[in-house]
Amino acid sequence: METIDAAHRAFIQKISAKVNRRYITTRAIDRLAWGTDASFYRQIPQVVVFPETPEEVSYILKCATSHNIPVTFRAAGTSLSGQSITNSVLVVAGKKWEKYSIAPDASQITLQCGIVGQRINEILAPLGRKFSPDPASLKSAMLAGIIMNNASGMNCGTHANSDKVIRSVRMIMPDGFRLDTGDEKSRTEFNNRYPTFCNDLHELRKEILANEELHRWIRYKYSIKNVTGLNILPLIEHSDPFDIITHLMVGSEGTLAFLEEATVTTEPLAPFRASAMVYFDGIREACLAIQRLKTEPVIGAELLDRLALKSVEDKPGMPDFLKTLPDSATAVLFETKAESQHELAENVALIKGIIESYKILMPVEFLDDEKEYSKLWAIRSGIFPSVGAMRPVGTSCLIEDVAFHMDNLPEATAELQQTIAKHGYADGVIYGHALEGNYHFIINQSFDSQSEIDRYEALMNDVIHLVVDKYKGSLKAEHGTGRNMAPFVEYEWGAEAFSIMKRIKVLFDPRGILNPGVIFNDDPHCHIKNLKELSLTNPHVDKCIECGFCEVNCLTYGLTLSSRQRIIVQREIARLEASGEDAALLTDLRKEYAYLGDATCAGDGLCATSCPMGINTAHLTHDVRQANIPQGSFAWKVGNFAANHFAGIKSTLRPVLSAANMAHTVMGSAALGAVTRTLHKTTGIPLWTPSMPKSNKVKPVVQKSSALKVVYFPSCINQTMGAAKGDPDQTPLPDKMMGLLHKAGYEVIFPENMEQLCCGTIWESKGMPDIADRKTKQLEEALWKASNNGEYPVLCDQSPCLYRMRTCIKSMKLYEPAEFIEAFLVDKLEFTPIDEPVALHITCSTTKMQLRDTIIGLAKRCSTNVLVPQEVGCCGFAGDKGFTNPEVNAYALRKLRPQLETANVRQGFSNSRTCEIGLTTNGKIPYMSIVYLVDRVTKPIKQ
């Protein structure tokens, strides 16, 4: 990795005057982690900057212009064509750029550049509106990436893409000037600053309009999806120079200016929708049907060739018949929408009638239940990563997206398939938005030899000939030009149109400092340079294609490293270990990773829930920890001693909790908090907070025998920790749980030797799986005996503990509190819901056990006003990290308190004691188990 050169050091010194130095990094691990995006290219930036305000971006660009330093912008880094990588300055504007405002009638929304596309729809959904651009990466991609690549998607086509919905932008020019194209005062200031700019745009427009052939060519090119080069359609469609500027930003890939925020129109949500996966006998037959349906009430037609189907046929929930389909089979996922159920039925009947006139392999069935048809669309959204998972490890997964005019669709599609096969890509997949003539094709490519690079180049040359020369289509339909098509922009558009694009670039960015090499690149071979190497590092993550879909659920993304970045760094460590080429860099990466990658990883595994391949980076973290604690080491021996003397460890902990509670009483929260914060910073001892619980010891009570029996295993946490000082109910959870069970008529059975039992999660999270498995086995044997060989249900009151128990124990049925109450108690208790607002936290283990709806449903039985805070996933307490690394817990819950205050919530509920400690600390209201809420609002039903 190159050292920082003198020019960039001077630049860093300059921007430090206005940008907080801790948001400027030159650490090797940061440059590597942030210098990698979803593409198959890699460049390592000299410096990464995380500005928090537009004023900081303005100053950064002003300094870059004066120092002639290239700058590239990055949002989510889901770019597939290398638009967000650089070997100079990388400016990251994501997590702290998420503000928005909605017009009174919700017809427009103004959004900062870092807000995730799916989040926009979550905001708009209660208002009956949506954000129409719908790329497959919508759940991860941020606004700036969507707009600056003109990313479209499955339904929006060219009629509702970013270019169609954008109304105005706030942008920052390369010299630091901030322009709001929707504000008259800002427009005037712009004209004063750049007196000839608008006139130059006007002259370009006049030139195009006067050239009938060029005018017609531009119209023709944009009649289908096209993002090759700069978007020059605005020069035809708009006359106001500031409207032209607004729309020129769309698809500009960071080459013209920084997109600070955008105002876009919203689209009404269709109240009725239906989808069907239709299986055709042949790709040409599928395309003929799509051609016919283009003018019918079809809003989406997603084609998946046979290889695409093979990439998902082994996934859970896939129908068995997929494996029996012939090699010629091609699926198309159709969707229609309507304003009424009657209209929807009419649409479905019409579409089915047309489809059934073609050669199909299975009966056509439309689904109008969102839960059902959303599964079909999830399959489609996950095709790219799913195909990537099938590739030989160590190879790159490349994706291109071309578009053909509908008149040529059947022939062009078949020829594209033949072209890919001709070059030996037996696993080359074709899929995409066939209703718009837009296809993605995926190949798994090795770049470890010149012959492989030559094979890829030959394929691309043939694709270019097919798309451009034969069918006059688009080399890039929606992923942006990037580095892989930059050499061919002029070839596709011709000299006249390309000259217009270059003049626009010079007008906006006269020094060429913004994202050089993207869209405009004089190197005809730039698309086969700076290729990413995917080194093998760990079998749990080797299939990762670095798409970044995981990051939306990674709680440390933006704090330390994300799940994707942990894999990136571990791959580089593995590469350096194998090559031996840079011992100093290897040492630095290992040292920095210890905190950024290991210590701050919560290990919650939610990254796997948004990864189409289900990659759980927590497994990588556990393996790294295990490698650092080999069996027989001192740390392992300490862990083994604790496992063998667990009852004694808990007995030792109780007096510590009692002493802390006494100190809290004597000194007060402020004084004790100040002392312990100082000690935590100076000595690293666990941090005390006012929400620290008192000590507890379970005391089984004498109870009547009953035909209703349940084995109750209070987790070791709840056996040891009671209520916190400020909790409204001071009853320890095990006592409250027993009381609720007795209220419902249950006899409670405890496993023998309970003080010594543990699920093993503690040791698993620390990297001692052998000890963890031993403790789980010990628990299983005790529960099997207590449940009369599995006859009685088993209840555990801590969701993370139950998650491991369920993963490892298959011999009996195990329940967490909300699930048990819903399954066994609701018919025995009378619920009288309260009207006061309550908050509900969904733990990561609850999500992974697919019990989210269960606990929400139970909370709604208890209160008429239940708040589930948005964008609050795993709390980051992670067993003990709330004590040892409280910054993780605080960052994960940074969006919690404002929502609680807005909703006037005074108490929250969950199903994990440690999570509740962190929620109380950061939410500033008491959080307790949902068992307390259920007990509060119920009484026995009189028999």
| Start-to-end C-alpha separation, the chain | 75
Nearest one of 552, 591, 554, 584 to 569, comparing CA atoms: 591
CA distances from 188 to 59, 191, 234 (A): 21, 5, 21
Q: Give pTM, 2 decimals.
A: 0.93
How would DSSP label each residue in 724-745? Answer: ETT-S--S-HHHHHHHHHHHTT
Confidence of residue 388 (pLDDT cuts 50, 70, 90): confident
- Alpha carbon of residue 777 to chain centroid: 35
pLDDT interval class at 688 (50, 70, 90): low
Statement: residue 667 has pLDDT above 70: no
Taking residues 468-494, what's their average pLDDT?
A: 95
Would you say 900 and 701 are in contact if contact means Cβ atoms under 8 Å apart? no
Residue 699: band (very low, low, confident or very high) from pLDDT cuts 50, 70, 90 = confident
- Among 479, 502, 527, residue at a domain's last position: 479
The answer to whether 108 and 131 have CB atoms below 8 angstroms apart is no
The 10s digit of each residue's pLDDT in 797-824 is: 999 999 999 999 999 999 999 999 999 9
Q: Is residue 704 part of a domain?
A: yes
pLDDT of residue 678: 67
Task: Answer whether residue 175 is part of any domain.
Answer: no
319 three-state secondary structure:
coil
| Residue that terminates a domain, selected from 479, 496, 512 | 479
Separation in Å, CA 279 to CA 355, 362, 416, 656, 831: 10, 6, 20, 65, 49
- The domain in which residue 871 lies consists of 669-940
Instruction: Please tell me the predicted confidence (pLDDT) of residue 675.
Output: 62
Comparing 616 with 316, the larger pLDDT belongs to 616
Asked, for residue 684, whether it belongs to a domain, the answer is yes
Tens-place pLDDT, residues 196-231:
999 999 999 999 999 999 999 999 999 999 999 999
Average pLDDT over residues 235-258: 97
Classify residue 526: in a domain, yes or no. no
Domains: count for the chain: 2
Lowest mean pLDDT among 87-96, 137-146, 555-564, 697-706: 697-706
Cα(68)–Cα(8) distance, integer angstroms:
10
Q: What pLDDT is recorded for position 375?
A: 83
Residue 153 covered by a domain: no
Higher-confidence residue: 375 or 854? Answer: 854
Statement: residue 130 has pLDDT above 70? yes
pLDDT tens, residue by residue, 560-572: 999 999 999 999 9
CA–CA dist 934, 797 (Å, integer): 14
Q: Residue 215 domain-assigned? A: no
Query: Per-residue DSSP letters for 8-76?
Result: HHHHHHHHTTTS-GGGEE--HHHHHHHTB-SSSBB---SEEE---SHHHHHHHHHHHHHHT--EEEESS
**Single-letter amino acid, residue 764:** E
How confident is the model over 656-669, as a mean pLDDT?
68
Domain holding 336: CATH number? 3.40.462.10
Q: Is residue 723 part of a domain?
A: yes
Give the Cα separation of 599 and 628 in Å (integer). 12
Contacts of 903 (CB under 8 A, 6+ apart): 837, 839, 865, 867
| In a domain? residue 390 | yes
Among 413, 445, 479, the domain boundary falls at 479
Confidence category of residue 674, pLDDT binned at 50, 70, 90: low
